[in-house]
Chain A
Amino acid sequence: MADQMLKDRQDVPIWNAIDAGNFKQALKLVDKRLAKKRTDYFEALKIYIRSRSPLLAEKQAVLLHLDELAEKKKAIAELETVELYDEAFGEVLPEPQESWDKIIGELRWLCVKSQPKNEDLSLKCFQACLRKGDLEHAKQISEKYPEKQRKLWGSLAFAQIGKLATATKQATLTRSRQDPKKLPIRSLQTPQELLLLHRVTEALGKPEQRLEFLNDPTLGPESAVAKGEWQLWRFKLNLLENAAKWQELYETTKSLLKRARTKDQSGQLSESGLSDWIVWEAFIRSAVELRNHEPKDAVIAEVEAHLDPACEIDKSWKRNASLALVKITFVSSSPFQAQPHDRIPVIIKYLQKYGNASTAYNDLRPFVEQLNVEDRKQLLELILKDAIFEETKEDKDIKTTNRITQLINTYKLRYLLTSSLPEYQIRAGAAYKSSRNGSNGQYSTSSLRQLAQDAAKSYLAAVHGGRAAWNLLPTDTHPADDLCLLSAMCLFKLALASTEDSEPLSGAKASYVLQATALLEYALTHSQPNFQMSLLLIRLYYYLGCGSMAMHAYKRLGLKQIQLDTLSYTLFDRISTFHPHPFSHFVSDSSPYRTPIESLQKQQKMYRNSRDQISKNIWLSYKHGSYNSIFEIKEVLDTLSRTLSAAMSVVESRKISGLIPSKTESGASDGGFDILPPNLEASESPFSDTNDYATFPNFECTQGPRFEELCRFVPASSDYRTRINLAAEKLAQLLQPIPEDKGGKAASHSALQSFLASPPEKFPKSSGDLLTQPEELTRQSYDAMALIIQDVCDRERWADQKFSEQLESHNKELCESLEEQRSLVENIKAPVPALACTLHALYTGYEAGKTASKFSVYLSSKAKDIPGSQSQSQGEANQKIAAAAQRLLQTVAEKCVAIKKGLDEGGLIDKVLDSVLQGPDGTDADVSVLCELRDSLDESHLELWAGDVVESWRDSVVGLSWLKV
């Protein structure tokens, strides 16, 4: 200490005196220095010297002085000075928890606060506070450095848990080997504690250290403490791979795989789980990296040992071995100079063996994608000639699960090769002579159409005669379902490749969508529990503007609890511009989900209940020593407090209740803002996206977008849109007059003040495709409105030189975007039946118009306060805004009338049926894939369904009656 404090040479005699215990002399010297120049340092040094005095009176005086110092709350800038006081304090009161916090902790905190940029200082003070157990000041200090905070706390945690790890190590070395019961109390004793050790070490970014722990026999995956915790092996393989320790990885995985197939003393394969796919992957990776023949041979030998009929390991593990053979063949092609033509035989072999397992396609997909064009062509030819499953060729009966699964796997491969791999069509081979490019320039529409047709045909043949032939439980899906999904997906892609027509029902796009819908609805009569079909149907009905049918498909999912967070988006994202009103068709009056608001409220209730459930279990984990679980559960808590879906439920509820007054006032109008942290739209950390996109069926190639992404008709939920929506709600709230009983003018004034204090962020136009066109125009209007309010209501801005120029340009922008929105609505060419895009444009346009109209009322009183001529010109601008808003609302209303009238005309059911069975009028006759299959379709079912679709359109337009001027 003394060494550190040597300010300069002149101080040496003082410290010599102190060290010699000659405090009188030391004091004299300090006083001399102080007489020359009073500095904080010498003041402190004096107190320090006095603290060393054996006299009680001196010690009391020191304490008093220190107390006063902290009371004054004056920041001392130099750390040395603060540390002298700390030393002095320690001399006077060696074990004084509380007063240390109050005096020295406070001095340290004041010191840090006075120099916010000095990180070194803060680190030292932080550590000092922690050492003394002054968590309050430690926390304050660490909060000043959020980016450093984790590191600081992490170091502490690491220090603590590292000590425990060492204790475990030493105890095991010195005591009887590996008996966890004999470990000292302060040591790591459970798998959860080991996981915590890794969590802490990982947080500090110390992979080497983690590997060291894992390699230690007392702390690693084989230690007695680990109790076989598999996660530790996962960590170890991963770390070895990241560290490129190939030889070690190779030896480790090789021995794990051998152990997996070796019986224990009781004749059991008790370690079969070591044949996990991640072990195989690591084995192959290391073998390839080692680049010589022996490792590759070892992989093949291990595969053979696993596949030996005498090896009794479960089939799930054997399949890994077979797949490992495919993998080694593919990855070793270049380093081992294997002939590329190995690749097709190995794929065929795998297919022959596992083609009857539903996983075969998923397993092979990443490899098939790597085939070169020639190989792809060869594989495709084999598939088209049905030459893969030789043994079963005679077996024409597809009504066995095995056979149908084989068929499905080959169809999926065909889809991959012809309609999902993007490069294919560039180099179309012999098998596709008839192919021609689709209008989207991506896939050959004729091969899509052919595939849609073939798959549908095989599907219809398989389900012909009902489920009875298949020996299924009522809760089982039908084994042929994927054929139907595949066909529907091809139709979906065809729809996306077609352009919209001037009359929806005469265009190819709607025809494809309707065909896919009809096919899936029919399939559901054979396979009610198939949720992937329901998911696709929600999307298709959304496109068609059939709200109640979409709701019907949604209800079939039977979502509960957390699923309300992960899957609500499928129907409820943008529900306020799709079907904000009660469902009166297909959903019974007594159903608790008759109105969208009820569903959204149910979702919000789940969030409220969850908080408590989660916190309760953080405590329970702690109680049971499940330390790792604490972090995991906490992660859910943090994630769930800010999901896109939660924000969606608030935004949509608010928009709906702004449009349709709810009969039961029970909190519906506030939209459930309480489930979100305040001012979330302005917070720095992004919203968490917990929406489940992965449960949609997906047979696409792995490098490209998933099917869920391909089949979006509108941009998905995004952080950007969510923030815009929340900010827009803030503005809408401000414009809402506050009734006298809720605070009236005063409340309105304070709302304005807080709006001005933290005005909504200005959202620049996004570069990506994140908003629909009507949403983009509305964003522009809201942006302009927020800026105008700030100009008009914030007096400080009035003096700005550019004030009037800016205000004028905002006024102009607002009028322009309203006008553009009006023309967008007016130009809806094909409004009957109203597809989702039409409904969306109308509701969105209405919302923008209505808000602008309220805005002009709000502003008319405020603008009067602006001094000079600007007040009058803003008054005029305001009138223009009001008029533009009015025109927009008028246009929306007119379109609504036209749509309703159009739907009243008859013949729609026939048009739907024609569109499905014949394709668009007269034009391209081969648009209808189902046309040729009509004999296999249940036509009466089809007619009933067409009736429902039309009924659903009628139900959808009921909501338009709320869009009044």
Chain B
Amino acid sequence: MTSLRPFHATDVFKFNPTNLDPLTETYDLNFYFSYIARWPHLFNVAEGRDGTIDAYIMGKLESSPPYQQFSPHYLPYHAHITALTVSPFARRLGLARTLSSSLERSGDSYDAWFVDLFVRKSNRIAQRLYEGMGYSVYRRVVDYYSDDLADPGKSGEDAYDMRKPLRRDGKREHVRERGEEFEVAPEDVW
């Protein structure tokens, strides 16, 4: 069964099925609650039987701060997937696709230019998911992550910044080809 609902603050007591997965980070409460405070409509849960949390998506809608206006890395108003995670027992059911398309729809309804997200370079599964939905790599952020889950010997891992243009970007001005080759430093991304 598939059933969605808004994330409730008390879900932090119940999100272990998704958050015990190594690719899903657990942050302090400030992190989750600041999203509930600012973008409650972009934080949604897929619920299993008995109300267990099978998956959730956290998103936001924003642009770079005004002082970055003239930076080459300035981001116009866009939707961002901050976290998307599906518990290992609920994978391959289409939940990730369903949750991210709902965020795209919100992006469209708030007239955002595109949706973007960061994904580990080694996370081929997530990349496949996003590619299948029309996302492409916009740039590669070198050593964005401070560890490498696939290889504990390494001290960092690159991120792909992936994007999908929304309705507003009819001319596809905010995507580029071969973004994998476009390197930026973590301090360039906001």
Interface residues of A (CB under 8 A from B): 191-192, 227-231, 234, 270, 272-273, 275-278, 314-317, 319-320, 323, 357-359, 362-363, 366, 401, 473-477, 529-531, 557-563, 565-567, 609-610, 613-614, 616-617, 620-621, 623-624, 626, 628-629, 632-633, 635-636, 639, 690, 692, 694-695, 702
A635 with B93: CB separation less than 8 A: no
B6 with A230: CB separation less than 8 A: yes
Q: Which residues of A contact B189 (CB under 8 A)?
A: none
Residue of A nearest to B16 (CB): A695
In the complex, given contacts A558-B20, A629-B9, what are 15 additional A-B residue pairs having Cβ atoms less than 8 angstroms apart?
Answer: A314-B97, A315-B93, A316-B2, A319-B2, A358-B89, A359-B90, A362-B48, A561-B29, A626-B36, A626-B40, A629-B37, A632-B10, A633-B36, A636-B9, A636-B33
B13 with A316: CB separation less than 8 A: no
Q: Which of B4, B10, B20, B93 contacts A639, CB < 8 Å?
A: B10
Shortest distance between the CB of B106 and any CB in chain A (Å): 8
Shortest distance between the CB of A421 and any CB in chain B (Å): 17
In angstroms, Cα B97 to Cα A639, docked, is 33
Q: Which residues of A contact B89 (CB under 8 A)?
A: 358-359
B184 within 8 A of A: no
In angstroms, Cα B43 to Cα A626, docked, is 13
A358 with B1: CB separation less than 8 A: no
B105 within 8 A of A: yes
In angstroms, Cα B3 to Cα A230, docked, is 11
B98 within 8 A of A: yes
In angstroms, Cα B125 to Cα A847, docked, is 53
Interface size on B, residues (CB 8 A): 55
What is the predominant secondary structure among interface residues of chain B facing chain A?
A: helix
Q: Which residues of B contact A561 (CB under 8 A)?
A: 26-29
Shortest distance between the CB of B16 and any CB in chain A (Å): 4
Shortest distance between the CB of A327 and any CB in chain B (Å): 10
B94 with A314: CB separation less than 8 A: yes
Shortest distance between the CB of B116 and any CB in chain A (Å): 21
B172 within 8 A of A: no
A359 with B36: CB separation less than 8 A: no
CB contact under 8 A between A316 and B5, given known A621-B37, A626-B40: no
Query: Which B residues, 5 to 62, have Cβ-Cβ distances below 8 Å to chain A?
Result: 5-6, 8-10, 12-14, 16-17, 19-23, 26-30, 33-34, 36-38, 40-41, 48-50, 52
B6 with A565: CB separation less than 8 A: no
Q: Which residues of B contact A270 (CB under 8 A)?
A: 105
Q: Which residues of A contact B82 (CB under 8 A)?
A: none
A317 with B36: CB separation less than 8 A: no
B16 with A566: CB separation less than 8 A: yes
Shortest distance between the CB of A54 and any CB in chain B (Å): 56
B20 with A562: CB separation less than 8 A: no
Shortest distance between the CB of B19 and any CB in chain A (Å): 7
A617 with B33: CB separation less than 8 A: yes
Q: Which residues of B contact A557 (CB under 8 A)?
A: 20
Task: List 26 interface pairs A-B (beta carbons < 8 Å), by A numbering.
Answer: A192-B40, A227-B109, A230-B6, A275-B2, A276-B3, A316-B98, A319-B1, A362-B48, A362-B49, A473-B123, A474-B149, A474-B150, A475-B149, A529-B88, A530-B88, A531-B20, A562-B13, A617-B29, A617-B34, A620-B34, A629-B9, A633-B9, A633-B36, A636-B12, A636-B13, A639-B10
In angstroms, Cα B125 to Cα A477, docked, is 13
A358 with B90: CB separation less than 8 A: yes
B13 with A473: CB separation less than 8 A: no
Which residue of A228, A275, A473, A560 has the most chain B CB atoms within 10 A of its CB atom? A473
Q: Which of B1, B14, B29, B37 contacts A363, CB < 8 Å?
A: B1
Q: Which of B41, B52, B94, B123 contacts A316, CB < 8 Å?
A: B94
A629 with B36: CB separation less than 8 A: yes
CB contact under 8 A between A276 and B30, given known A473-B122, A473-B124, A474-B150: no
A690 with B13: CB separation less than 8 A: yes
B178 within 8 A of A: no
Q: Which residues of B contact A692 (CB under 8 A)?
A: 13-14, 16
Q: Which of B19, B30, B125 contacts A473, CB < 8 Å?
A: B125
A635 with B109: CB separation less than 8 A: no
Query: Which B residues, 90 to 138, have Cβ-Cβ distances below 8 Å to chain A?
Result: 90-95, 97-98, 101-102, 105, 109, 122-125
In angstroms, Cα B15 to Cα A566, docked, is 10
